[in-house]
Amino acid sequence: MMEVRDLVVRAGDFRLGEISLRVEKGRTHVLLGPTGSGKSTLLETIVGLRSPESGRILVEGKEITQLPVERRELGYLPQDLALFPHLTVEGNILYGLRMRGLSPGIFLEELVEVLGIRRLLNRRTDTLSGGERQRVALARALAPGYRYLLLDEPFSALHEGLRRELWFLLRDLQRRYGLTVLLVTHDLEEAFFLGDTVSVIMEGRIQQTGSRETVYRFPKTLRVARFFGLKNLFEGRVESVGEGALRVRVPVLGEILVVEGSEGLSEGYRITLGIRPEDVMFPRPEYLRPDQENLLLGRITALYPKKSSWWVLCRVEGSGFLLEVELPDYAREKLGLREGALVKIILPRERIFILLEEK
């Protein structure tokens, strides 16, 4: 396990801290956030390229905070890959081993085969394609046999097809060699494909940490929700608190919504509610109950294709609020949705998340 405890780092006018996180052994933890949020600064500090003001870094219970880079036993892949253009692929891979006084072994032979780069060993790195360079950089980071791998946006410059290919390769390497991975990215799809756990970092502070499912489905703060690009956000006031549920008056929808979760909330409390586009439902009439909760009426204003789904904009009748809805291809066809159609909408109580911070 890798642990960061109360880490504080300064880089010019930028302050990172106090950062605490745990990366469980054999898992991938993703640092997700916008450019300039401190992701790379944190990674560079863990690797040993920066010195912290305070805090501790531990790997398997051993403190490495003050150790030099070469003694931390961490594989590191920077964003620019840092391959030496004057060396061959083999020279690049062996460089780190030689600097540490290590000899190539059976593991390196296997790694070269798994990464599919044996045919490239005698080529210079400046003649390689983007995907080939990524594979060589991974080989160099893993060649010493380290089982902790730190990746700083390694796939950001690649086209979508190649990125996905390397995502699967990284997953295969992780399973094969029991790697523990800390990955920096600003790409949401990459984060939720590769990450077992996710930390959202903004302006030098961690805003939320949890499983990828929890962070994706239930952002905790308005800032995190907006970073995810969510627009279905509604201010409201708690009308009543029941056992495990709230009734919240939402003026922008002209409705009272029932929402799961009531801990720490009381009548009159102002909150913000949200729901992801894919969690909004267009029910068939036969499935509606007479006492159906969180039922709205809306009119479709636009439909846009999105790979295997459709992005639907729906204006709530009586309030004018524009809901964003994402539907799979088959659902749009089955429901016969079209622009201008009047539809019933359900916001499932278990899919609505609560944001407690002010704007």
User: Last residue of a domain, which of 172, 190, 221?
Assistant: 221
User: Last residue of a domain, which of 221, 245, 272?
Assistant: 221
The first and second tokens of residue 25, run together, are 């052994």
Contacts with 285 (C-beta within 8 Å, 6 or more apart), sequence order? 344
| 275 φ/ψ angles, rounded to the nearest 5 degrees | -150, 140
Burial of residue 37 (number of CB atoms within 10 Å: 0-12, 13-18, 19+): buried
Indicate if 206 and 291 belong to the same structural domain. Answer: no
Indicate if 206 and 178 belong to the same structural domain. Answer: yes
pTM score, whole prediction: 0.89
Indicate if 169 and 305 belong to the same structural domain. Answer: no
Short-list 214, 323, 334, 322, CA closest to 278? 323
Distance CA 107, CA 99 (A): 18
Is residue 359 scored above 50 in pLDDT?
no
Contacts with 129 (C-beta within 8 Å, 6 or more apart), sequence order? none
Q: C-alpha 157: how far from its chain's center?
A: 17
Indicate if 231 and 211 belong to the same structural domain. Answer: no
Q: Which domain holds residue 135?
A: 2-221
Which residue in this structure is represented by tokens 């109950």? 289
Residue 299's CATH number:
2.40.50.100
Residue 263 has a pLDDT of 76
Report pLDDT digits (tens) over 278-324.
999 999 888 888 889 999 999 999 999 988 899 999 999 989 999 99
Query: Considering the chain, what percentage of its residues have pLDDT values greater than 70?
Result: 99
* Residue 235: strand pairing partners: 272
Residue 53 has a pLDDT of 96
Indicate if 299 and 156 belong to the same structural domain. Answer: no
Count of structural domains, the chain: 2
Indicate if 273 and 245 belong to the same structural domain. Answer: yes
Short-list 65, 109, 72, CA closest to 90? 109
Q: How confident is the model at residue 158 (pLDDT cuts 50, 70, 90)?
A: confident
Indicate if 241 and 160 belong to the same structural domain. Answer: no
Query: Considering the chain, what percentage of its residues have pLDDT values greater than 90?
Result: 75
Find which of 98-102, 184-188, 271-275 is predicted with most confidence, using mean pLDDT.
Answer: 271-275
Indicate if 235 and 214 belong to the same structural domain. Answer: no
* Residue 19: strand pairing partners: 7
Residue ranges of the alpha helices (H) in 292-336? 329-335
Mean predicted confidence (pLDDT) in 48-52 = 96
The DSSP letter of residue 267 is T
Residue 178 has a pLDDT of 94
Indicate if 159 and 214 belong to the same structural domain. Answer: yes
Is residue 25 scored above 80 in pLDDT?
yes
Distance CA 329, CA 337 (A): 11
CB 204 within 8 A of CB 14: yes
Indicate if 199 and 270 belong to the same structural domain. Answer: no
Residue 136's CATH number:
3.40.50.300
Secondary structure string (H, E, C) spanning 221-250: CHHHHHHCCCCCEEEEEEEEEECCEEEEEE
Is residue 357 scored above 80 in pLDDT?
no
Report pLDDT digits (tens) over 269-281.
999 999 999 999 9
Indicate if 114 and 160 belong to the same structural domain. Answer: yes
User: Last residue of a domain, which of 179, 194, 221?
Assistant: 221
Is residue 101 scored above 80 in pLDDT?
no
Cis peptide before 18 (omega within 30 of 0): yes
Indicate if 234 and 350 belong to the same structural domain. Answer: yes
